[in-house]
Structure 1
Amino acid sequence: MKVVITSSNKTLADPIDMHFGRAKFFILADTETGKAVVHDNAQNLHAAQGAGIQSAETVAKLGAEVVITGSVGPKAYKALQAAGIKIALLEAVCPGTEALRRFKDKELPVLDKPNSEGHWV
């Protein structure tokens, strides 16, 4: 399964980024092969608006089936849902390795609605 983890830096050892649309990096991890590839999200980091939608399009193009993050606004939520991408919720910052382990162990709830008002900058 292909899983995107929102990250504050370039490795799974780094803390996750709790904000989906404006995450600094997306780490695409393949749960079957263990391979992880970093994707920069700088284009959306300081976007005036639309960061969540653009980020959703990015992870859809990466082939992600699940996003692990801390918060998703309403527009990003709709875009992810439309792409068939599930959202696994982390309630506190932890390393990406821990987030991935918790996902594999089915410890993370799946969002059924947005959990952020959106545009927080």
Structure 2
Amino acid sequence: MITIITSTGNSLQSKFDLRFGRTSWFCVYNSSDNSVQFIENKDKNANGGAGTKAAETIAELNAERVISGDFGPKAKSLLEQFKIQMIIMDGPNKTIGEIINEIKK
């Protein structure tokens, strides 16, 4: 299963980012082979539509679920259309590695 986690940086020590469309990085965690990859959010500074562009990126990565702190209404609607599960987490002090360890349990 591919899970996307919004991240402030591109390492397992990076902090979880509560923002979805404006996150700096997407951590792509694949539980089938335990691989981790970081993809830069190229649309984080877009004048508008950052959330919908982020949702499209998530779909292109074949994600089945995404973990973030909040989803705007347009992004939420698009993720629902793509049948991608949204998990809202309130843990800005957690690292990406800690979240992945929780997923593995």
TM-score by length of 1: 0.81
* Partner residue, 2:15: 15
Unaligned runs of 5+ in 1: 106-121
How many residue pairs align between the two structures? 104
Summarize deviations over 1:24-46 as a string: whole Å, max 9, x none.
Answer: 010111112110111110x3211
1:74 is matched by which residue type in structure 2?
P
Higher relative contact order, chain-length normalized (CA < 8 Å, sep 6+) = 2
* Partner residue, 1:52: 51
Maintained 8 Å contact 1:71/1:89: yes
Structure 2: how far apart are the matches of 1:77 and 1:12? 26
Structure 1: how far apart are the matches of 2:68 and 2:100? 11
Structure 2: how far apart are the matches of 1:87 and 1:46? 22
Q: How far did residue 11 of structure 1 move?
A: 1.2
Unaligned runs of 5+ in 2: none
Q: How far did residue 57 of structure 1 move?
A: 0.2
Percent of aligned pairs sharing the same letter? 32
**Which structure has the highest strand share of the two?**
2
* Partner residue, 1:110: none
Tell me how large the CA RMSD over aligned residues is.
1.1
Maintained 8 Å contact 1:90/1:99: no
Q: How far did residue 72 of structure 1 move?
A: 0.7
Matched, 1:36 2:54: no
Q: How far did residue 16 of structure 1 move?
A: 1.1
* Partner residue, 2:103: 103
TM-score by length of 2: 0.92
Structure 2: how far apart are the matches of 1:79 and 1:21? 12
1:89 is matched by which residue type in structure 2?
I
Structure 2: how far apart are the matches of 1:12 and 1:85? 23
Structure 1 stretches of 4+ with a deviation exceeding 2 A read 100-105
